[in-house]
Amino acid sequence: MSFRKHKAGAAVALALSATLLAGCLPQSAKPQQDSTKARAERAMTPDWITQLPQRNGMAYGVGSMEIYGSVTDAIKRAGDLARVDLVSQLRVTVSGDFSVDTQERSGTGQASEVQQNVRNYVRSQVPDVQLDEVQITETHSDGKYAYALAELDRAQAAARLRRQIGDIDTELRRIGAQQPQGSTLQQLQPLLPALKQFALRDKTSEQLALISTSRSGLALDDDLRALQARIDGLLDQLSVALVALDAGADAVSGGVLEVLTQQGLRVENRANADLVFEVSATLSSKAKGGSYYVFADTRVTVRDANGRALSSFSKQARGVSGLADVARQAATRNVAALLGEELSITLVDKLR
């Protein structure tokens, strides 16, 4: 009896050991399988996702996008972000303003407000220069995120930009070869296309300085600097007349003339002016919350010396202050600012 009990106990112990062993084997094997899968996934992840490539004369950027639906769409968006990242990588190592100094100013050496207004408007009309050489060379998707690698051959891009600047300089020299006679406006008009060419050149040279290994653009030659100075001088010599068409315009005309003079414009009578501003205005005011508001609903027509209408616009100028007189003065300054802006638009876009 004792022997049978011992044998049965041994059998139970053996069965229990087998059960425990059977239960432990899968649990110990599973972490090993997961670790192998993780290592395989890590091995499939390209190095460029976490570490940008390093090659002389090349620039790189990486973009990533979470996959919500289409993998193709996610990769495309990752490519767009990679291009942005590439330019950002270039900008990190760049400091200062790359605008080519084309300014040979009269007097103090500073650009007059007229020149600045014209330049700012022209620059806003010129599209940014694109880096066509940026290529998406690698893509990767892990099921959750899409990745893209952008690559730029800096030497190739720099060579193209230098060719573009050369073409712009050729066009500027063609424009500068003209020697128009007559009034200031008649002398200036054939040269006005150079303004956009100078703005395009500035932007192209900025891109060249951004991507070239020398970190420098192309400065203007002396003859092009002379052309720039010639145009600046004509802008400063340009004369305008202000004609008030009603009582509202008459009420603000004194302050407007003062501000136009401060901007660098030469104010003449109508008979001697290159351009004439015909102005009408309706003034209104109200007090609210301790402040005074003055509104000038302004209508302006710009004419040349022959009376030909070049442009026309209607805008509201507003002045706000705790003092009624100061609010009125602010409205007057804003009317003058509108005229200055319209002058820039007229010179660049409306003179033909």
Q: Spell out the per-residue pLDDT of the chain, length 352, in tens.
A: 444 444 444 444 434 344 433 444 344 444 444 455 544 555 578 999 999 999 999 999 999 999 998 999 999 999 999 999 998 888 865 544 444 443 433 334 567 888 888 888 888 888 887 888 899 999 999 889 999 999 999 999 999 999 999 999 999 999 999 999 999 999 999 999 999 999 999 999 999 998 888 888 889 999 999 999 999 999 989 899 999 999 988 888 888 888 888 878 888 988 889 999 899 989 898 998 889 999 989 898 999 888 999 888 898 889 999 998 899 889 888 888 888 888 888 888 877 6
Bridge partner list, 319: 294
What pLDDT is stored for residue 128 in this prediction? 81
262 and 174 inside one domain: no
What pLDDT is stored for residue 45 in this prediction? 85
Q: Angle at CA 316, nearest 5°, toward 312 and 321?
A: 150
Rounded Cα distance between 50 and 45, Å, is 9
111 inside domain: no
256 and 171 inside one domain: no
Computed on alpha carbons and rounded to an integer, the radius of gyration of the chain in Å comes to 36
Per the structure block, which two tokens stand in for 103? Answer: 């300014």
Rounded Cα distance between 39 and 57, Å, is 34
Strands 266-267 and 309-321: unpaired
278 inside domain: yes
**CA of 340: how far to CAs of 34, 120, 127, 148, 173, in Å?**
71, 12, 23, 47, 29
Bridge partner list, 295: 284, 318
- Contacts of residue 144, defined as CB under 8 A and 6 or more positions apart, other chains included, come to 66, 67
303 and 213 inside one domain: no
What pLDDT is stored for residue 126 in this prediction? 87
221 and 257 inside one domain: no
Amino acid at 33: Q
Backbone angles phi, psi at 134, to 5 degrees: -70, 125
171 and 262 inside one domain: no
What pLDDT is stored for residue 257 in this prediction? 86
226 and 325 inside one domain: no
Amino acid at 12: V
What pLDDT is stored for residue 263 in this prediction? 79
198 and 265 inside one domain: no
- Of 206, 221, 236, at which residue does a domain stop? 236
What pLDDT is stored for residue 118 in this prediction? 87
204 and 263 inside one domain: no
Inter-residue contact 246 to 280 (CB < 8 Å): yes
Rounded Cα distance between 286 and 211, Å, is 55
Angle, helices 222-237/113-125, rounded to nearest 10 degrees:
120
Q: Which residue has the tokens 């192209």?
A: 204
Q: What domain range includes position 176?
A: 155-236
- Contacts of residue 242, defined as CB under 8 A and 6 or more positions apart, other chains included, come to 253, 256, 257, 260, 267, 276, 277, 279, 339
183 and 218 inside one domain: yes
What pLDDT is stored for residue 22 in this prediction? 42
pTM over 0.95: no
Domain total in the chain: 3
132 inside domain: no
247 and 346 inside one domain: yes
253 and 341 inside one domain: yes
What pLDDT is stored for residue 88 in this prediction? 87
Per the structure block, which two tokens stand in for 339? Answer: 């005229």
